[in-house]
Amino acid sequence: MRICYVLTSLGMGGAERQVLALAERMAQRGHAVSLLVLRPRLAEEWPTKLDVVHLDMRRTPASVFSGFLKARRFLRKERPDLLHSHSFHANLVARLLNMLASPQVEMAPPQVVVVCTVHNVNEGGWLRMLLYRLTDPLSKRTTTVCEAAASRFVRLKAIPQQKCTVIANGIDPAEFEPEHERRMQTRAAMGVGNEFIWLAAGRIAPAKDYPNLLRAFALVKTSRPEVCLWIAGEATGPALAELIELSNQLGLDRCVQFLGLRRDMPALLDAADAFVLASAWEGMPLAVGEAMAMQKPVVSTNVGGVRDLLVDTEFLVPPADPAALAAAMLETMRLPSEDRQIRGRAGRVRIQSTFSMDAKADEWESLYSTLLEGNRQPQSSGAGPASRTGKPQSLLRHRKTDP
């Protein structure tokens, strides 16, 4: 297969990292893989050895028009079998490119198969949902990373139910494997003694609801003074200043560290004792899966696909409820060390058995093959939609739909 992945950027986000991991596995399996990136190069990007074309689109009509022309030239030259786009802007661009990919413009007949992936429960307001609905005929399938996102987008009529597939994110257990020596070295480098370390990770953004986390942590600190919180994530501008001010107001200035953008998450997870997510909304948060792979107990708000990841839901709490979040964090800290280790090991087993990146690559490869085979056959051949489990119709029974 010739596969082109379409992304908004290669910035240091979880969705971008997930796409690169998938693309690299497809390349390792012998497929011809390339990347189309809408935005110009960023100062901080995930590294890759794959072929990358930046369309240099900005918030101006001229740059968008120029980007489409550049993309058209790329597609005419590379003639991919399949475009797999990720998140709203890339999904919309891929669909519009497919509209251009017709015999009349001599691009790549027959039309390229377009697969769009939604990475979050919330990808914007009613206008974006309307645009998803209007451009849906230009894509073959839209996938989501969790059942919660699928249910919401189907309910909003942004995705037809019969064209919606759920394929969760994948984690590489080999990359996130506990190492005792690394734990000791990282704790020493961070100046940590016997304190209990909570780690949170993710960019400073409204979705992550760090004010909720800080207010919960202030309650935890009142009961357990020997505790610290590390927050790893890109942090700049007024949003960071506001969090620092809130931390100071809560009296947390000496026990909360804002670590900024970090490339050593396995080491930080090793050094931490538990992981906490306080988000207001999510898709399938990679940080939670990575923490589980590193055998860390997880406390989280019950948002997006978190429930799908966890072994049990005992430590899931409602969003925007600092008291409930603090109670779950304190309960985790009260557990005997052996019980926390048992929870951690069970989490790693779940990631290995259900959410490994290789297993997810198998699901994607099978879905691609099914869609491409259907694209080569007449519509009347009986090729139908995939099931909502992430497995192609040819492998699983699916819900019947009205003609």
Domain stops at, among 339, 354, 369: 354
pLDDT in tens, 183-211: 999 999 999 999 999 999 999 999 999 99
Q: Range of 301's domain? A: 180-354
Question: Given this model, what pLDDT does residue 101 score?
Answer: 57
Are 157 and 205 found together in one domain?
A: no
Q: How many domains does the chain have?
A: 2
175 domain residue, yes or no: no
pTM of structure = 0.87
Q: Which two tokens stand for residue 386?
A: 């995939």
Are 270 and 377 found together in one domain?
A: no
Are 185 and 164 found together in one domain?
A: no
Are 99 and 39 found together in one domain?
A: yes
Q: Which of 49, 37, 50 is nearest to 11 (CA)?
A: 37
Are 94 and 218 found together in one domain?
A: no
CATH of the domain at 97: 3.40.50.2000
Are 320 and 339 found together in one domain?
A: yes
Buried residues in 324-362 as b, exposed as e (16+ CB within 10 A): bbbbbbbebbeeeeeebeebbeebbebbeebbbbeebbe
Question: Given this model, what pLDDT does residue 389 score?
Answer: 40
Are 350 and 371 found together in one domain?
A: no
391 domain residue, yes or no: no
398 domain residue, yes or no: no
Question: Given this model, what pLDDT does residue 166 score?
Answer: 97
Question: Given this model, what pLDDT does residue 403 score?
Answer: 30
pLDDT in tens, 131-169: 999 999 999 999 999 999 999 999 999 999 999 999 999
399 domain residue, yes or no: no
Asked if 370 and 394 count as a contact pair (C-beta separation under 8 A), the reply is yes
* pLDDT level of residue 235 (50, 70, 90 thresholds): confident
Mean pLDDT, residues 165-183 taken together: 96
* pLDDT level of residue 398 (50, 70, 90 thresholds): very low
